[in-house]
Amino acid sequence: MSRFTLLLVLLVVAGTAQAQQTAIDDVDARSDPKDFAKQLGSTDPLVRQRGAEALARLAANDQRKLVEGYQLQEKNKEVRLALEWALYRMGRSEMLFRIVDELDSGRQEQAIGYLSELESPGELYPFLKRNNNAPRINAGLLKALARIGDAQTLELIKPFRESHQPYVAEAAEIAHDEIEKRLGEPAASTGTRPRSVEKP
């Protein structure tokens, strides 16, 4: 009996820890955005960040006014970035500029993670074409494109493989290899690939 009770306690504790860790992974269309919106008022910045990321995943437009309010007053930079990502997913397209600019900060990995969730790599092309980017911004954009880029991306990143900016040529090479590897894998769905091979 005591062993069973101990096991039960361990399962509850593990379940709680896992629920906190993988809150974002558990988000799906059935999730109630209001539950995550409540997390934005937490004193724990990590809980606020996860709440914002969950709302971003849901693109919960009904919570947009609330998120805008929290974003204006948020002091924690990681949480503010998560709120900006949520607002972008809710239709505030100008927030993408802020997320891209965060690539030149200590939050580069966080920003790359969000940019890697964009539906199309084309959304990042205008930023990569800017002439005044800091090296860390270009490198960050290339890292995001390594995850979501396509055949068109390969053409766009070619010049960056010869870049003299720190880390940029290396990031471009990695992006090129990652995209080529992904394109070389058999398509998950039966698309136009097999037909194009048969053409004379």
115-160 confidence digits (pLDDT tens): 999 999 999 999 999 989 999 999 999 999 999 999 999 999 999 9
Least confident of 31-35, 42-46, 191-195: 191-195
**pLDDT recorded at residue 199:** 42
What residue segments make up the domains of the chain, in order of their start? 31-92, 105-185
Q: What is the DSSP string of the chain?
A: -HHHHHHHHHHHHHHHHHHHHTTTTT--TTS-HHHHHHHTT-S-HHHHHHHHHHHHHHT-GGGHHHHHHHHHH---HHHHHHHHHHHHHTT-TTHHHHHHHGGGSTTHHHHHHHHTT-S-GGGTHHHHT-TT--HHHHHHHHHHHHHH--HHHHHHHGGGGG--STTHHHHHHHHHHHHHHHHHSPPSS--SHHHHHH--
Topology adopted by domain 31-92: Leucine-rich Repeat Variant (1.25.10)
Least confident of 35-39, 98-102, 106-110: 35-39
Threshold 0.75, pTM exceeds: yes
pLDDT exceeds 90 at position 6: no
pLDDT-based confidence at residue 1 (cuts at 50, 70, 90): low
Mean local confidence (pLDDT), 76-84: 98
